[in-house]
């Protein structure tokens, strides 16, 4: 196979009618001689904040001299981002080679693996072949039955927070969702719980107790912001002074404090971190599509806020940078999300909204979404496609001296960035 054929093979897997469970990934990894059993994992689950946490922790481990694998989803600009070593995505050549090895086993299976199971097995094999010291492993969905949970153990389990998302799969209550996320907790392996929801916390602590796993908690009240601009943030957290991060958003110091707590736990377990390397790793960490500044004139920021908790965080961040000044917002949403709530939150900081219909069968139409905003008293214009929406929004934001925020699915990012690039030529 070549690179194009490899991606076609990976994406061709029909997963929609597969029964949830770990049986397929177990069989697939057995055929590979279980590479996951020869690696050391920091396993990360949660509704929001997983990607930023994983990126920062991976950067800290790299700067501390370790060879670190990073497994995340979804990718932002190129599939290869799904698996990286020392922040460098897998090469096209290696992706082809490893996929061919996994394909040999997958093709012989009567119950074919899902796309995510296939990609997870490819990542395990890739990290094992390259002899990674540690792997920062992000769950895809949930935890208990997530393909990544085939690992027998980890050195640290992290749950970044829990809110309502994917309720048709994970459950309709916080308790049910928390139970699914808590599925990554392993016997005698420490747990870092970073969330704020007490109902979820009780579930996490109960599962951890049953598995003899000590639970740690960051203290977000210990975060002292020294300076926060649209370029960088400086803050203190406990004994960590003058921490600098390029990742924007009011929530990123919280994500960073969670990483510092994880570093403290890992150091207690004997993993060596030098203080300058920790600070350096955090300052170099990058994570696209989360409150990312795409251009300056007019100011355009993209944030992959696609659920109520994400929108809450985005709106709080907008307020922290812009105060009472209103901004312009371009957004689209899925019909199965609580879009009425999200529209109400966005309306509190927006004086003009541009709605689009995301390229997804579950999408709410731009016209219907605009009507929700107009009913709230926030002017909204629907657009047939994202190009025309951005062109109009950019023209009006520049004319009116407003910042433009693009909020929605991470899958919007590539198209938004491409259109902005063409407009600036």
Q: Pull the structure tokens for residue 184.
A: 């990554």
pLDDT band, residue 402 (cuts 50/70/90): very high
C-alpha span between 75 and 339 (Å, rounded): 24
pLDDT band, residue 167 (cuts 50/70/90): very low
Mean pLDDT of the region 182-192: 97
The answer to whether 393 and 399 are in contact (CB under 8 A) is no
C-alpha span between 259 and 228 (Å, rounded): 19
70 Cβ partners below 8 Å, 6+ apart? Answer: 54, 55, 58, 83, 84, 85, 87, 135, 136
Q: Pull the structure tokens for residue 5.
A: 């054929």
pLDDT at 18 over 80: no
Helix and strand element counts for the chain (H, E): 15, 17
SS3 289: coil
pLDDT of residue 69: 98
Give the pLDDT confidence of 209-253 residue by residue, as tens digits: 999 999 999 999 999 999 999 999 999 999 999 999 999 999 999
pLDDT of residue 166: 46
Enter the DSSP assignment of 105: H
Q: Pull the structure tokens for residue 116.
A: 């995510």
C-alpha span between 69 and 325 (Å, rounded): 42
Mean pLDDT of the region 120-142: 96
pLDDT at 190 over 80: yes
C-alpha span between 121 and 256 (Å, rounded): 29
Task: Delineate the domains of the chain, giving CATH numbers in brackets.
Answer: 3-284 (3.40.1190.10), 292-423 (3.90.190.20)
pLDDT of residue 411: 80
C-alpha span between 425 and 421 (Å, rounded): 7
Pick the range with the lowest mean pLDDT from 5-14, 164-173, 180-189.
164-173
The rounded Cα 131 to chain-centroid distance in angstroms is: 25
CB atoms within 10 A of CB 335: 14
Size of the chain, expressed as the number of residues it contains: 425
pLDDT at 168 over 50: no
The rounded Cα 395 to chain-centroid distance in angstroms is: 31
pLDDT band, residue 122 (cuts 50/70/90): very high
pLDDT at 169 over 50: no
pLDDT band, residue 425 (cuts 50/70/90): confident
pLDDT of residue 424: 85
Helices (H), 273-412: 275-284, 308-322, 339-347, 366-375, 386-400
pLDDT of residue 359: 83
Pick the range with the lowest mean pLDDT from 171-180, 236-245, 340-349.
171-180
pLDDT at 361 over 50: yes
Give the pLDDT confidence of 259-305 residue by residue, as tens digits: 999 999 999 999 999 999 999 999 999 999 999 999 999 999 999 88
pLDDT band, residue 308 (cuts 50/70/90): confident
The answer to whether 355 and 383 are in contact (CB under 8 A) is yes
pLDDT of residue 103: 97
C-alpha span between 253 and 247 (Å, rounded): 9
303 Cβ partners below 8 Å, 6+ apart? Answer: 249, 289, 290, 291, 292, 310, 314, 317, 405, 406, 407
């Amino acid at each position: 196979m070549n690179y194009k054929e490899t991606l076609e093979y990976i994406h061709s897997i029909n997963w929609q009618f597969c029964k949830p469970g770990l049986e397929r990934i177990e069989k697939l990894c057995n055929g590979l001689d279980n590479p996951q059993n020869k690696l050391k994992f920091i396993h990360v689950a949660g509704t929001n904040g997983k990607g930023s946490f994983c990126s920062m922790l991976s950067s800290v481990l790299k700067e501390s001299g370790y060879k670190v694998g990073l497994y995340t989803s979804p990718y932002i600009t190129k599939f290869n981002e799904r698996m990286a070593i020392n922040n460098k995505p897998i090469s096209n050549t290696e992706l082809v080679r490893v996929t061919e090895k996994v394909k040999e086993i997958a093709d012989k299976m009567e119950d074919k693996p899902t796309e995510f199971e296939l990609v997870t097995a490819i990542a395990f094999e890739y990290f094992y072949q390259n002899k990674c010291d540690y792997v920062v492993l992000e769950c895809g969905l949930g935890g208990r039955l997530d393909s990544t949970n085939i690992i027998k153990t980890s050195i640290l389990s992290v749950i970044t927070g829990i809110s309502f998302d994917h309720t048709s799969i994970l459950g309709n209550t916080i308790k049910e969702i928390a139970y699914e996320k808590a599925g990554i907790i392993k016997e005698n392996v420490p747990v870092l719980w970073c969330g704020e929801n007490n109902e979820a916390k009780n579930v996490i602590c109960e599962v951890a107790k049953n598995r003899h796993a000590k639970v740690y908690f960051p203290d977000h009240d210990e975060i002292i912001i020294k300076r926060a601009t649209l370029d960088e943030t400086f803050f203190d957290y406990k004994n960590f002074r003058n921490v600098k991060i390029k990742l924007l958003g009011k929530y990123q110091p919280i994500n960073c404090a969670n990483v510092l707590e994880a570093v403290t736990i890992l150091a207690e377990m004997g993993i060596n971190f030098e203080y300058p390397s920790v600070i350096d790793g955090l300052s170099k960490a990058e994570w696209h599509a989360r409150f990312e500044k795409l251009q300056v004139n007019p100011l355009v920021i993209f944030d992959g806020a696609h659920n109520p908790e994400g929108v809450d965080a985005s709106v709080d961040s907008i307020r922290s940078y812009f105060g009472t000044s209103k901004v312009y917002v371009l957004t689209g949403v899925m019909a199965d999300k609580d879009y009425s709530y999200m529209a109400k939150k966005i309306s509190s900081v927006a004086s003009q909204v541009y709605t689009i219909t995301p390229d997804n069968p579950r999408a709410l139409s731009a016209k219907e979404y605009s009507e929700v905003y107009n009913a709230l008293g926030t002017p909204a214009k629907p657009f047939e496609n994202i190009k025309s929406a951005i062109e109009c929004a950019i023209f009006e934001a520049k004319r009116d001296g407003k910042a433009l925020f693009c909020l929605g699915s991470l899958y919007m990012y590539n198209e938004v960035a491409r259109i902005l690039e063409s407009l600036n030529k």
